[in-house]
Amino acid sequence: MAGTSVRPTGARAVWSRDFALFFTARAVARLGDTMLPVALAAGLLQHGYGAGAVGLAMAATAAAFAGLVVFGGVLADRFSTRKLMIGADLVRLGTQALAAVLFYSGHVVLWQICAIGFANGVAGAVFQPGVASTVPRLASDVQGANGAIRVAESAAQLAGPAAAGLLVGFASPGGVFAAHAATYALSALCLLLLRLPPLAPGSRPASSGRGSGGKAFRADLAEGWREFRSRPWLWSVIAVWCVYMIAVWGPTVPLVATEVVQEHGPRAYGLVNSALGAGTVVGGLLALRLRPRRMLRAGAVGLVGFAAFPAIVGAGLGLPAMAAGAAVAGAGMSFWGVMWATSVQTQVPPDVLNRIHAYDVAGSLAMMPVGQALAGPAASVLGADHVLLLSGATSFAVCAALLLIPAVRGLVRVEAATGPSGAPAPTEPPSRTQKC
């Protein structure tokens, strides 16, 4: 079996002062991130730019993040993840404050907004890999910790766009950027107050005993890739997920928006989005409760629920059915997300976890823009409704593919806590384990 991610003894199962700080940092940062699309759209449109400019500004952030997150993983394994995350938050505090000044002053130039977005993407690429190794160092119940964070992020996703809309209405887009900057300030403060326990004996950062030059950096990058390739369950899921992003998630997001708005109006789309967000909260709560022995198998079964969402919209069923499908989809996606994150964090050794997580994030996101770009041409040829029906069928096929891969469906959960001898602690009694 793959190495087990371990953490020091004496840790609280989930809740402690330090986990509460990290939980708050993730929740407020997510709240700010969900406000940003509203601010960008309203602000750029207000200054005479079109939808293409909004997409370009968002793409600048996404491209920088996806292109550099793997290198961020190497940095996170070589240096202090906490310091890197604080630094990334402070960079984004500065960039969003600058954006607020630009929008307040009325001197908005597209290339400047894109440059700010690119800087945010670079900072995000440095920040994100450290999240993976921080959770198992703060909580021995890694699944419970991931479930709690997922619930908080889902609630923030529900509240963020609404809060941004109010700020745009009562203040200006600049006010949203100022609020977004404030969320990064609070996140940085929480991380500054956080005290991470030391790594378990034998788990050392990748830089231990190595130089800091380019060769050492490339060696760490190559080592992360070898560790990634050595785990069939890991690269198999990422390979399947690339198909999912191209054929399911990529086209579903823009085409559902188009179909619902055209047929039922923007308020109906808001309702469907709210149902999706509420479903993700439910999925996170389920992940707090259920303890499957084979986590990826259980997650793949839960993910089947997402297939109903694009299929219902494509079939033209009524608004109540669309909202119900969105709620089920959100719950399934959220439950899968917790099962997947927990599997990675507990199955991968701590000294390569940040790099593995970076490869995971990069591989998961790489094909999403492709799916989004193909959505329009495919809808022109086949019709948006038929593309959504095909996405629903593909979503079901993806779940079946995950369940057909022996390394995925057979992966047995391990616990992150360790006993006094350093050996993995026993798993929970069978009576508390949900069999799947």
pLDDT score of 318 more than 50: yes
- Tell me, yes or no, whether 111 and 173 share the same domain: yes
Identify whether residues 294 and 423 lie together within a single domain.
yes
Give the pLDDT confidence score for residue 213 in this predicted structure: 58
pLDDT digits (tens, 9 = 90+) for 128-143: 888 878 888 888 788 8
**Can you tell me the distance from the alpha carbon of 56 to that of 22, in angstroms, rounded to the nearest whole number?**
32
Q: Which of 45-49, 90-94, 174-178, 287-291 has the weakest average pLDDT? A: 45-49
Among residues 149, 175, 198, the one where a domain terminates is 198
Confidence at residue 43, expressed as pLDDT on a 0 to 100 scale: 81
Query: Which band of pLDDT confidence, cut at 50, 70 and 90, is reported for residue 35?
Result: confident
Cβ distance 82 to 180 under 8 Å?
no
254: pLDDT strictly greater than 80: no
Q: Give the Cα separation of 2 and 349 in Å (integer).
A: 8
User: Of 180, 198, 216, which one is at a domain's C-terminal end?
Assistant: 198
Counts of helices then strands in the chain (DSSP H, E): 17, 0
Inform me whether the pLDDT recorded for 96 exceeds 90.
yes
Task: Report the pLDDT value the prediction gives residue 303, as an integer from 0 to 100.
Answer: 93
Helix (H/G/I), strand (E/B), else coil: 418: strand
Percent with pLDDT over 70 in the chain: 86
Say if residue 16 is in the same domain as residue 88.
yes
Q: How far is CA 81 from each of CA 6, 39, 132, 353, rounded to the nearest angstrom?
A: 16, 30, 10, 12
Over residues 369-390, the pLDDT tens digits come to 777 777 778 888 888 889 899 9
pLDDT at 312: 92
Asked if 253 contacts 330 with a C-beta cutoff of 8 angstroms, the reply is no
Given a cut of 80, whether residue 265 has pLDDT beyond it is no
Domain boundary among 149, 178, 198: 198
> Do residues 89 and 131 touch, judged by C-beta distance below 8 A?
no
Examine residue 249 and state whether it is found in any structural domain, yes or no.
yes
Average pLDDT across the chain, whole number:
80
Q: Answer whether residue 222 is part of any domain.
A: no
More confident residue, 367 or 383: 383
Query: 156 is in which domain, residue-wise?
Result: 9-198
Most confident segment among 81-95, 141-155, 272-286: 81-95
For the record, the structure tokens of 159 come out as: 């509240």
What was the pLDDT predicted at 88? 93
Would 430 be classed as within a structural domain?
Answer: yes
Residues 50, 169: one domain?
A: yes
Give the pLDDT confidence score for residue 276 in this predicted structure.
85
330 and 408 in a common domain: yes
* Same domain assignment for residues 20 and 107: yes
Residue 324: which CATH number?
A: 1.20.1250.20
pLDDT tens profile 164-206: 777 877 777 888 889 899 999 999 999 999 887 766 554 554 4
The total number of structural domains that make up the chain: 2
Q: How many CA atoms within 13 Å lie on the side-chain side of 430?
A: 1
Inside any domain, residue 219 = no
CA atoms within 13 A on the CB side of 116: 23
Residues 179 and 298 in one domain: no
Residues 264 and 371 in one domain: yes
Is pLDDT of 2 > 70? no
Count of CA atoms in the C-beta half-sphere (13 A) of 57: 24
Given a cut of 80, whether residue 106 has pLDDT beyond it is yes
Looking at the predicted structure, is the pLDDT value of residue 154 above 70?
yes
The proportion of the chain whose per-residue pLDDT surpasses 90, expressed as a percent, equals 27
What is the residue-wise DSSP string for 169-216?
HHS-HHHHHHHHHHHHHHHHHHHHH--PPPPPTT---TTTTS--SHHH
pLDDT at 436: 37
Most confident of 208-222, 324-338, 403-417: 324-338
Lowest mean per-residue pLDDT among 3-7, 38-42, 299-303 = 3-7
Q: What angle do CA 12, 15, 19 make, to 5 degrees?
A: 95
Question: Which of the four pLDDT bands, split at 50, 70 and 90, describes residue 55?
Answer: low
Structure tokens at 394: 């593909």
pLDDT of residue 187: 93
First-to-final CA distance of the chain: 20
What pLDDT is attached to residue 428?
36
- In this structure, are 122 and 243 located in the same domain? no
